[in-house]
Amino acid sequence: MPRSTFDEQFFKRFYATTPVHSRRKIESLATAVHSMCRWWDVGISTVLEVGAGRGYWRDWYAEHHPRVKVRSIDVSEHASAKYRHELRDISTWRPEKEFDLVICQSVLQYLPNKLADSAMRNLASATRKVMYLEVPTSSDLENVVDRQSTDLDIYWRKGEWYRQRLSGNFVHAGAGLWVSKSSEIALYEFERAN
């Protein structure tokens, strides 16, 4: 069964020497996600970073868009203390307000089905406009994942499992971007992945 705690050893193993998500890679990703939001005329003034880990997204916003208010949360006591996040579990915690952009990177694969369902409902409730979601699927395990630098002790699910649960609240725009159906964001047909 996948681990339920993300201690100092976990962070040393997956972030110290050959991290899957280095600061430089996240800076490139954050630039791309923020730029796509601008392309859609989505103003970003609030961000929720779920599973914030080392806080690379928060740091990028602080450097490049210091007026954007970023709230970072993590279920790890170690990460929350060391990297200054709120200690929260998105599967049981629902934010009291919505955010323009919600970032959920490498979180849902650690949750059993029932908690992953709950987390996706809470993410939908938190997303006013756009969510960036990264979660490895069983297809990724076969075709994409670097088995040497990736934590394989997770729940491997089909992409369709996630899509079915997200499609009620979001339009999939591709590249990990999900646009809230309750927003007024108009996507061109070819900007939609489904």
- Please report, for residues 54, 76, 141, the alpha-carbon distance to residue 86 in angstroms, rounded to integers and kept in the order given: 13, 10, 31
With beta carbons less than 8 A apart as the criterion, state whether 128 and 80 touch: no
Instruction: Name which of 45, 38, 95, 103 is nearest 69 in CA terms.
Output: 45
The DSSP 8-state label assigned to residue 108 in this structure reads G
CA distance 166 to 64: 30
Q: Read off the pTM.
A: 0.89
Structural domains of the chain sorted by starting position, each given as residue range(s) with its CATH number in brackets = 22-191 (3.40.50.150)
- Would you give per-residue pLDDT tens digits along the chain (194 residues)? 344 556 555 555 555 555 567 889 999 999 999 999 999 999 999 999 999 999 999 999 999 999 999 999 999 999 899 999 999 999 999 999 999 999 999 999 999 999 999 999 999 999 999 999 999 998 978 887 776 666 677 889 999 999 999 999 999 999 999 999 999 999 999 999 86
- Dist CA 47 CA 153 (whole Å): 29
Beta bridge partner(s), residue 73: 50, 86
